[in-house]
Amino acid sequence: MRFFIELSYNGKDYYGWQIQNKVNSVEEKLEYCLSILLKTPINIVGAGRTDKGVHAKQMFAHFDIEKKISNNFIKKLNIFLPKSIHVFNIFPVKKNVHARFNAISRTYKYYLTYKKNPFFQDFSWYCFYPLNIKRMNEATRILMKYKDFSSFSKKRNEKKNNICEIYDANWLIKNTHFCFTIEANRFLRNMVRSIIGTLVDVGREKISINRFIEIIELKNKDYCSKTIPPACGLFLYKIIYPEDIFL
């Protein structure tokens, strides 16, 4: 039987979601704890791959097992897992439903602050540049007119599918924080942070709105601005699936 697992994690101490040699990953911790408690090797498949230091308010993964999962299993699992990982739910889904490929949309949020505060440093980027949020939102709305985001992809590959559909994107400001929200059917590697870095340059009035459009249309990552430096402000915020995946 296939199960979905819904979880969140603080990514500060992890080299991303995916298992890698000799470094901590969320996937490795989760697989280890599931395998010990269920007394059988468990392989999980995540809905995506967050990078080093990136957090997740909502993440999904799937795994297969023929055993029944008891009602108090989630409580046991959360006791066994590191404090930085919390499981909300484990539930059965239809056969062959895939955590990654069946997702309809994903939403990311990025937080930056213009006021230095040691208690914000793990969850936001301290950006000391003055920013024009009106210009940033004007440029952000332009994103939804395009599908090819090759300019914001980390890897250059002529055969790679760099087509994404952005459903919504905006900047909001509250107190000392700017929050960027973006929802799309899929994201390219490093795409969100590359877009934000370029939008910040628009907000700094380092590049014009017309130049931002040119960068998108050039379809070449060499022309976009530098990726924002830390991953700490980036959260995988929400993943949506069709209702018919559930049993």
Per residue in 144-185, pLDDT (tens digit) is 999 999 999 876 555 578 999 999 999 999 999 999 999 999
- In a domain? residue 245: no
pLDDT at 67 over 60: yes
Residue 247 pLDDT: 83
Is 122 designated active site? Answer: no
Say if strands 125-126 and 105-113 run parallel, antiparallel, or are unpaired.
parallel
By residue range, what is the domain housing residue 77? Answer: 2-102
- Residues 67, 146, single domain; the answer is no
Residue 127 lies in a domain: yes
Residue 195: the pLDDT is 96
- Residue 108 annotated in ligand binding: yes
- pLDDT, position 231: 77
- My answer on whether 54 and 26 are in the same domain is yes
| 8 Å CB contact between 196 and 129 | no
Beta strand 234-240 with 55-64 is: parallel
d(CA 19, CA 237): 21
Catalytic residue among 13, 51, 64, 168: 51
Percent of all residues in the chain with a pLDDT value above 70, rounded to a whole number: 98
Confirm whether 117 is domain-assigned.
yes
Q: What is the pLDDT of residue 158?
A: 52
230 & 148 share domain:
yes
pLDDT, residue 159, reads: 54
Task: Please indicate, yes or no, whether residues 109 and 229 belong to a single structural domain of this protein.
Answer: yes
227 — pLDDT class (breaks 50, 70, 90): confident
Mean predicted lDDT score pLDDT of the chain:
93
DSSP 8-state symbol, 227: P
CATH number of the domain that residue 37 is part of: 3.30.70.580
In a domain, 149, yes or no: yes
Q: Which residues contact 5 (CB under 8 A, 6 or more apart)?
A: 30, 44, 60, 61, 62, 63, 87, 89, 90
Residue 211 has pLDDT above 90, yes or no: yes
The β-bridge relationship of strands 85-93 and 45-46 is unpaired
- The count of domains in the chain is 2
